[in-house]
Amino acid sequence: MALQVIPILKAVAPLIAQAGGIVAGMRSTRETTRMEDRVGKIEQETLRAGEVLTSVAQQLQAVAQELKRQAEITQAMQRRAATMLVMSGAALAVAVLALVIVAAR
């Protein structure tokens, strides 16, 4: 089962880049930018970050659903394997009983 981690990392990369850009921009223009402009820019960046986080959440939900589906398949296969083990044991017991009966004659 292959987890789809790469799409999640691709979705998080812009968020990380935005965070770095915000910090760098705020450090470089700290004294020259008006407070209102800085607050407006932070609001815009926060909205973009929220959109990226929404995308990541949707992708994580898809991964969780896939993991749930894989877990259900695995449980079904385990039940089948247990059933086959019991049937194999019963077949072995019948075969041994048949050998004992044939040997006794």
Q: Which helix or strand (DSSP H or E) is residue 97 part of? A: helix 35-104
pLDDT of residue 24: 73
pLDDT of residue 2: 56
Q: What is the DSSP secondary-structure string of 28-88?
A: HTTTTS-HHHHHHHHHHHHHHHHHHHHHHHHHHHHHHHHHHHHHHHHHHHHHHHHHHHHHH
The model's confidence at residue 12, banded by pLDDT at 50, 70 and 90, is confident
Of 40, 61, 52, the residue nearest 13 (C-alpha): 52
With tokens 């077949």, the residue in question is: 91
Question: pLDDT tens, 45-102?
Answer: 888 878 878 887 888 888 888 889 999 999 999 999 999 999 999 999 999 999 999 9
pLDDT of residue 103: 92
